[in-house]
């Protein structure tokens, strides 16, 4: 494995980690406010469909992105209505969102495009294309550091950089602003927040709407950044992997970046080396594909320590009379 191969794998890992990172941060905001969100998958799927459909119809990827975020926000609002306003079970509401998105995207796709739930292939301005960072060409000659900049960091679609910027932004919002303090408090002890005269309902709604925007970005990235059309069930479990990464990261933004990048890296490695010959034994491709999950168990059990979720997570808030 030479230096250039490693760079290519890291480059691939960055692309694969981006949707996970968006979804993981979405889950982070939602769960920090005390709302479990297993509907990440469904929101991503809904966003992927509507972004691809709108981008195809209008020819503009930006309108597609807006439509994707809109779809994801609508699903978030349903989740909020069910689990915040009507105090329903958050897990059930999340499962319902997943089913709803899985069925609706195919149904609407069938009736709009008559392509069996797919959207037509996007091209040109209807897709996100790679952005070359400034001086990427000039710096590529610099030994060691140059290729990292020009190969790994440069040339991704704009959403990859947005995702990376979302990490410090989330950290700042959660830990350095009044809103963030209240948001975290509402996930730990909503009664105290309510006593202070701050709306628990309002805070929780704003948290899941932020999650909606982030899931919208994740879905749009899948359909219009990495891919070039919507295909049914194209999220392929990424929402659930993001949830695992969230626990892994113990609900903290920077660790979310590391955790999702680790998953991306492992997937990139298994893509590159479907089977690994260790000399005395050859690891089969099935093992390489299972590796991310095996490592999750090992690391969670052995290295991360106890992951403690926000204390009020999963409980609907009932105001005392």
In the complex, the residues that contact another protein under the rule CB under 8 A are: 5, 8, 12, 15-16, 19, 106, 114-118, 121, 222, 226-229, 231-234, 236-237, 267-268, 271-272, 274-275, 284-286, 289
Work out how close the CB of 305 gets to another protein at its nearest, in angstroms, rounded to a whole number. 31
Q: What minimum distance in Å lies between the beta carbon of 91 and another protein?
A: 21
Smallest gap from Cβ 8 to another protein, in A, equals 5
Min dist CB 98 to another protein, Å, is: 14
How would DSSP label each residue in 109-130? HHHHH-STT--PPP-GGGS---
Residue nearer to another protein on the CB measure, 12 or 93: 12
Query: Please, are residues 215 and 22 in contact by the beta-carbon 8 Å criterion?
Result: yes
H/E/C letters for each residue in 61-92? HHHHHHHHHHHHHHHHHHHHHHHHHCCCCHHH
Kindly state the smallest distance separating residue 41's Cβ from another protein, in Å: 12
Neighbours of 297 (CB within 10 A): 10
Packed helices 158-176 and 178-188: angle between N→C axes, nearest 10 degrees:
80
Q: How far apart are CA 74 and CA 52, in angstroms?
A: 17
Q: Which is nearer to another protein, 252 or 272 (CB)?
A: 272
Residues 159 and 128: beta-carbon distance below 8 Å:
yes
C-beta closer to another protein: residue 117 or 316: 117
Q: Please tell me the distance from the alpha carbon of residue 49 to that of residue 33, in angstroms, as a whole number.
A: 28
For residue 56, the minimal CB distance to another protein (Å) is 14
Closer to another protein by CB, 107 or 307: give it. Answer: 107
State how far the Cα of 23 lies from the Cα of 161, in Å rounded to an integer: 15
Of 123 and 177, which has the nearer Cβ to another protein? 123
- CB nearer another protein, residue 140 or residue 189: 140
Three-state DSSP class for residue 197: coil
């Amino acid at each position: 494995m030479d230096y250039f191969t490693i760079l290519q794998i890291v480059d691939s890992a960055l692309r694969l980690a981006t949707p996970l990172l968006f979804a993981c941060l979405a889950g982070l905001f939602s769960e920090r406010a005390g709302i479990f969100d297993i509907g990440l998958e469904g929101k991503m799927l809904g966003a992927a469909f509507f972004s691809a459909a709108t981008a195809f119809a209008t020819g503009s990827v930006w309108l597609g992105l807006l439509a994707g975020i809109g779809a994801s926000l609508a699903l978030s609002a349903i989740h909020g209505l069910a689990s915040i306003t009507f105090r329903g079970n958050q897990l059930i509401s999340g499962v319902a969102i997943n089913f709803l998105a899985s069925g609706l995207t195919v149904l609407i796709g069938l009736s709009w495009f008559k392509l069996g739930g797919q959207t037509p292939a996007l091209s040109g301005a209807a897709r996100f294309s790679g952005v070359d960072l400034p001086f990427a060409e000039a710096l590529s000659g610099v030994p060691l550091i140059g290729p990292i900049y020009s190969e790994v960091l440069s040339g991704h679609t704009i959403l990859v950089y947005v995702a990376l910027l979302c990490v410090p932004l989330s950290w700042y919002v959660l830990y350095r602003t009044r809103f963030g303090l209240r948001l975290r408090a509402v996930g730990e002890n909503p009664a105290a927040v309510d006593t202070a005269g701050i709306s628990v309902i309002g805070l929780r709604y704003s948290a899941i709407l932020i999650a909606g925007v982030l899931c919208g970005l994740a879905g749009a990235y899948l359909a219009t950044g990495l891919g070039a059309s919507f295909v049914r069930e194209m999220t392929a479990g990424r929402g659930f992997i993001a949830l695992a990464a969230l626990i892994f990261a113990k609900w903290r933004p920077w660790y979310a970046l590391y955790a999702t990048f680790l998953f991306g890296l492992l997937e990139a490695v298994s893509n590159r080396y479907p089977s690994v010959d260790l000399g005395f034994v050859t690891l089969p491709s099935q093992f390489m594909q299972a590796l991310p999950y095996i490592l999750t168990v090992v690391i969670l059990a052995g290295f991360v320590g106890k992951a403690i979720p926000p204390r009020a997570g999963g409980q609907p808030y009932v105001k005392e009379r």
